[in-house]
Structure 1
Amino acid sequence: MKVKNIIPRWKGFNLTNMFLFHSARDFEEEDFKWISDWGFDFVRVPLCYRLWIEDDDIYKINERFLEKIDKVVEWGQKYNIHVSLNFHRAPGYCVNNEFIEKFNLWKDKDALDAFCFHWGVFAKRYKGISSKSLSFNLVNEPLHPSPEVMTRDDHNRVIRYTVEYIRKIDSERLIIIDGISYGNVPLPELSDLNVVQSCRGYLPMGLTHYKANWVGGENWPEPKWPGAWHYGEIWDRERLEKHYDEWAKLISMGIGVHCGEAGAYKFTPHKVVLAWLRDLLEILKERDIGFALWNFKGPFGILDSDREDVDYEDWYGHKLDREMLKLLQEY
């Protein structure tokens, strides 16, 4: 399977009904209909493995919960939307710390065995569904390499082992891997794996995560664009282009690249968000990189974002940011 030949420039959203917590709302078919009607063809579904295990037993699967994910896959096919299943919380690792894992995916064999077991459940369940309709995004945003938690060699070992494990079950499944350093650094050393690599659209952080308490953004300066703050640097479009030039090098090697998450938090002034987002989308399009906005509904999204400086349109009881939607549709 040649990934370059089957990766279109997908554009869409992250559906975050089921991403982090130990309870979840059901997905809604109308979301898929609206996404399709508005001209998008991709949804990324961030998942937490703890939602489908029982009695805190990592190998005991709740079949009824997996049926909720079956619906997502079916609706994707119905509305011609590619569905990418992502382990946002995987056995032994999550970028968020609301739950402390008992082992480390990058160091512990027990964690890697559990990680592969769960991906094996999905690989068996969806074998036969075309990779044009469904992909597996292995683990969300591996962190910065460090000797204590995850070296680059640790990461590469885990990814290689898991890709091989999945392909023994389903050799045709399209697999996506996030870059390291929270999705911001590409992995040319894994170019032989024939997988897609996923970047992020969250730079500069001073703009995209202004007042976000989970990254300490409460004390950052109010953002502007160009000229947004990023950990002591000032970013403009040229600096943003240099960042994605590194990802474009993968494309020149025949490796598919997709931006799996992008967006700005609700406290960034809306005019600043739109100016930055237009530059980001132009840069991605110029490099043939598709995108997915985090999120569809919520504080980064086009529905119910709770921004105070948006003239919302009523959309079946939801608050629609029509201006942002139109911008996304342009690209």
Structure 2
Amino acid sequence: MMMKFYGVNFGGFLSQIEEKSEDHYASFLTEQDFKRVQRWGFNTIRLPIDYFELFDFTQNEIMIEKKAHIVDKCVIWAQEYGLKLILNLHKAPGHSFDHNESDANDLWDPKTESQQKFFEIWKKLSERFGKFDNVLFEVMNEPTAPFPEQWNELVEKTIPIIRKNARNNYIVVESNMWGQVDTFSDLKKFKDDKIIYSFHFYQPILVTHQKAEWFRLIQEYYPGYVEYPGEIPNLDPILREMKKQESEHDFFIFKNQMGKWDLQRIEAMWQPVLDFQRKHQVPVLLGEFGCIGYAKPEVRSRWLGDIMTLIKKYDINFTYWNYKNLHFGLIDNSLRFQKNANYNDKRIDTRTLEILQSK
């Protein structure tokens, strides 16, 4: 029987770095963070890595050894504390999940250099880390292929590259279009019995991302606090604005927001994932989920409590977003949440932590 994976994301360390400096790489995460995660009762860390943090294709040896040594330490610390470590390629050559950068995405075109760079990255990562049995390899974060066949084909080509050097490590494959639940039925069941199929869940986005600075339309049209469970009224003005701006990402995320939101609605949304899990008898991972720190503590707790109810009901693996900072952290040392009601005097969100520990 496969072990269960329950843990947190270490986003903001080698991905989505808010302030790059030597001090960041030396102090943002240390051995004590791995020890704390283990002490809190988790057994898995998902480590997102933006490819340009670890690879430089202008050099003969494309892996940046100084940065690779940081990942080496993470693998060893995870081993020492009995933790599994998912190496997640967060941003890839020719691909970014960030809709503000997506115009440059060309990874899906085999004629570009991006795919060859992508395969070379997985060759290097599997060569270096395939010998560690606590390491899992996640092919890519939140793919946005225009057609699902393009994503399935890229994964099909990548699996043998990883398997050449990592015969027994689990490989994680996410659903297309930002890991959405409603694209899960387009995901291929691959001929490899050590694949974990993954999705992300932040719905309703107006609850989990309320007051988020990077969603201008939320700030403009929905500036107040949003309750959960609750009713989200007419959003036609937002949707019209998105169509006018041809914002495919925002429209895709916001189009089904209206109406009553509760446990039953979320469970119904998960049906494509549950059908895939049952049909193929495969492990499923909820790789990212969380409610922003701007939300009221009781809203954050109710939403997360419902997610955990479904995780337990359907035997789903999980890694919560996020361990530290980035608006969703269990710990937050940033100025924006200095006096936030979700965090105690040690800057820890104990209510969220307790709900996650109820696994």
Which band: TM-score by shorter chain? 0.7 to 0.9
Aligned to 1:162: 158
Shift of residue 98, structure 1, vs aligned partner: 6.6
Q: Which amino acid aligns with 1:324?
A: T
Aligned to 1:93: 95
Shift of residue 111, structure 1, vs aligned partner: 1.1
Aligned counterparts, 1:249-264, within 5 A: 249-252=275-278, 253-264=280-291
Partners of 1:322 and 1:282 in 2: how far apart? 18
Task: Quickly say closer, same or farther: Cα 1:28–1:101, change in 2 above 3 A.
Answer: farther
Contact kept? 1:13, 1:43, Cα under 8 Å: yes
Shift of residue 187, structure 1, vs aligned partner: 4.5
Q: Which amino acid aligns with 1:225?
A: Y
Contact kept? 1:266, 1:307, Cα under 8 Å: no
Match of 2:341 among 279, 300, 310: 310
Match of 2:31 among 24, 29, 32: 29
Partners of 1:54 and 1:23 in 2: how far apart? 17
1:8-40 deviation per Cα after TM superposition (whole angstroms, max 9, x unaligned) = 332111112111349463231111111100101
Shift of residue 100, structure 1, vs aligned partner: 7.1
Q: CA RMSD in A?
A: 2.3
Contact kept? 1:225, 1:275, Cα under 8 Å: yes
Q: Secondary structure at the match of 1:296?
A: coil
Task: Quickly say closer, same or farther: Cα 1:308–1:124, change in 2 above 3 A.
Answer: same
| Residue 327 (1) aligns with residue 325 (2) | no
Shift of residue 311, structure 1, vs aligned partner: 6.0
Structure 1 gaps, min length 5: none
1:94-139 deviation per Cα after TM superposition (whole angstroms, max 9, x unaligned) = 1126767866111244211111101111101112221xx1101111
Task: Tell me which moved more, 306-315 or 26-35.
Answer: 306-315
Task: Tell me which moved more, 198-207 or 89-98.
Answer: 89-98
Partners of 1:82 and 1:98 in 2: how far apart? 32
Match of 1:265 among 292, 309, 314: 292
| Residue 300 (1) aligns with residue 328 (2) | yes
Identity of aligned residues (%): 25
Q: Which amino acid aligns with 1:222?
A: Y
Task: Quickly say closer, same or farther: Cα 1:183–1:228, change in 2 above 3 A.
Answer: farther
Contact kept? 1:42, 1:82, Cα under 8 Å: yes
Aligned counterparts, 1:135-174, within 5 A: 135-143=136-144, 145=145, 150-174=146-170
Aligned counterparts, 1:121-200, within 5 A: 121-130=124-133, 133-143=134-144, 145=145, 150-184=146-180, 185-187=183-185, 189-194=187-192, 195-200=195-200
Task: Quickly say closer, same or farther: Cα 1:224–1:102, change in 2 above 3 A.
Answer: closer
Contact kept? 2:175, 2:187, Cα under 8 Å: no
Aligned counterparts, 1:22-61, within 5 A: 23=20, 25-26=24-25, 27-54=29-56, 56-57=58-59, 60-61=62-63
Q: Which amino acid aligns with 2:343?
A: Y
Q: Which amino acid aligns with 1:10?
A: F
Contact kept? 2:96, 2:105, Cα under 8 Å: no
Higher normalized strand content (fraction of residues): 1
1:223-245 deviation per Cα after TM superposition (whole angstroms, max 9, x unaligned) = 11112545442222111001223
Aligned to 2:269: 243
Shift of residue 58, structure 1, vs aligned partner: 9.1
Q: Which amino acid aligns with 2:204?
A: P
Q: Which amino acid aligns with 2:208?
A: T
Contact kept? 2:199, 2:288, Cα under 8 Å: yes
Task: Quickly say closer, same or farther: Cα 1:98–1:225, change in 2 above 3 A.
Answer: closer
Q: Secondary structure at the match of 1:104?
A: coil
Aligned to 2:245: none
Partners of 2:283 and 2:271 in 1: how far apart? 14
Q: Secondary structure at the match of 2:198?
A: strand
Shift of residue 89, structure 1, vs aligned partner: 0.7
Contact kept? 1:58, 1:114, Cα under 8 Å: no
Contact kept? 2:35, 2:81, Cα under 8 Å: yes
Match of 2:121 among 118, 121, 133: 118
Contact kept? 2:49, 2:88, Cα under 8 Å: yes
Q: Secondary structure at the match of 2:200?
A: strand
